[in-house]
Amino acid sequence: MWAGNAWRAAVFWVSRGRRAQSALAQLRGILEGELEGIRGAGTWKSERVITSRQGPHICVDGVAGGILNFCANNYLGLSSHPEVIQAGLQALEEFGAGLSSVRFICGTQSIHKNLEAKIARFHQREDAILYPSCFDANAGLFEALLTPEDAVLSDELNHASIIDGIRLCKAHKYRYRHLDMADLEAKLQEAQKHRLRLVATDGAFSMDGDIAPLQEICRLASRYGALVFVDECHATGFLGPTGRGTDELLGVMDQVTIINSTLGKALGGASGGYTTGPGPLVSLLRQRARPYLFSNSLPPAVVGCASKALDLLMESNTIVQSMAAKTQRFRSKMEAAGFTISGASHPICPVMLGDARPASRMADDMLKRGIFVIGFSYPVVPKGKARIRVQISAVHSEEDIDCCVEAFVEVGRLHGALP
């Protein structure tokens, strides 16, 4: 009897193991098919390994010599600024490596509260709340704020994190054509039956370098009793006279209700995001925003770096003012050479190429000439709109910019992008 039971048990476990192996083999087949499709479409994304600090000049694994970096979000060059680094080291020494906890349990330190207060002052808002990233800030906002009685109206080219955040909420969803104010007005008229109406837009759109018409958006929001939300990840720190963002640039700081932004680009370049706006909204997010409630608090070193970056920005706007001239220099020289550059005036300068393969191959050849840029293709951008996105930093010199343009002209002719 016992022998029979043991035999049946052995047969069961062998059979179960075979089924598990079969399921794994099936999964591998599916995944390899998907990956081969990506390779075949020319949209495979390889990761280059940097072996130095982030900055305008970097070292890249497998590439001899120094490389000029033209594709980082390091708009103000603060990610390797000595005072920012020192502030991070000091916070690490004083407050430790991390909190091992979420904020409401035992993960809030005085430096977190101080940074939130500083962010609110910077944006001239009532309060602010920190998240591990702005992706988390966008994931937490809409679900906590909006109910099935409400409506959200979103630009069709908003960042993926806004799109995903909106998907999580139960509000009625309207999508208006990119920067199309007539379509937004039509959608606002249709949404009048809902309790709250929230217009959601990027301030600066990271793929195309264009800027939302916030004056018109705010005018329509006022006419139809709506609130305005702006994601300022590609604006905070360098757009506007003092770097407050697109709402400052366009003179509507008092009309934008909610701002989400990041600490991971111009403000130190590490990680972290935030929401800033009305005090009661921030209080509600502390109670209900799932990415806040269920994620560890920001590491002290990150908080220290971001806090110092804000200090430097609020002390002087000299570095902000240098951005416009350098951006214009690159755009004008590239357009004179025959390239099409999307957007206007923003340091994001997409060199439009259309097809994914030449975008990828040109980026590889640029690296051989000492210029670090990346080709962008589907699904990061729509099919047929592949580009190499160049990003200008305040710490690029005029010589750096001219060198980048010269390499583009040479590579562009090699690949038929220029005559």
pLDDT digits (tens, 9 = 90+) for 272-313: 999 999 999 999 999 999 999 999 999 999 999 999 999 999
Q: Beta strands of 278-418 (E only): which ranges?
A: 348-354, 371-372, 375-376, 386-391
Residue type, 142: F
Mean of all residue pLDDT scores within the chain:
93
Beta strands per DSSP E along 203-247: 227-231
Give the bridge partners for 375, in sequence order: 388
Which of 234, 326, 385, 396 is an active site residue? 234
pLDDT of residue 321: 78
CA nearest to 371, candidates 2, 56, 105 = 56
Q: Identify whether the C-beta of residue 184 lies closer than 8 Å to the C-beta of residue 175.
A: no
Helix (H) or strand (E) holding 400: helix 398-414
Tens of pLDDT, residue by residue over 110-119, are 999 999 999 9
Q: With bands split at pLDDT 50, 70 and 90, how would you rate the model's confidence at 7?
A: low
Per-residue pLDDT band for 44 (boundaries 50, 70, 90) equals confident
Structure tokens, 19: 């089924």
Is the pLDDT at 265 greater than 60, yes or no?
Answer: yes
**Token pair in block for residue 82:** 């000595």
- Dmax (CA) of the chain: 89
Span 399-419, average pLDDT? 95
Tokens of 357: 């393969």
Residue 110 known to be catalytic: no
Q: Single out the residue of 197, 103, 104 nearest to residue 145, CA to CA.
A: 197
Q: Which residue of the set 265, 308, 385, 396 is catalytic?
A: 265
Would you place residue 12 in the very low, low, confident or very high pLDDT band (cuts 50, 70, 90)? low
The four Cα atoms 347, 348, 349, 354 give a dihedral, to 10 degrees, of: -170
308 flagged as catalytic: no
Q: If you compute the radius of gyration of the chain from its CA atoms, what whole number of angstroms results? A: 24
Does the annotation mark 173 as catalytic? no
User: What pLDDT was estimated at residue 167?
Assistant: 97
For residue 216, CA distances in Å to 207, 222, 256 come to: 22, 10, 12
Q: Which of 79, 80, 161, 206 is catalytic?
A: 206
- What 3-state DSSP class applies to 175? strand
Confidence check: pLDDT of 142 > 80: yes
Distances (CA, A) of 305 to 76, 103, 105, 121, 309: 14, 19, 24, 17, 6
Q: Which residue has the tokens 């920001």?
A: 298
Identify whether the C-beta of residue 274 lies closer than 8 Å to the C-beta of residue 134. yes
Pick the closest to residue 367 from 41, 59, 124, 54 (CA basis).
59
62: left (phi over 0), alpha (psi -120 to 50) or beta: left
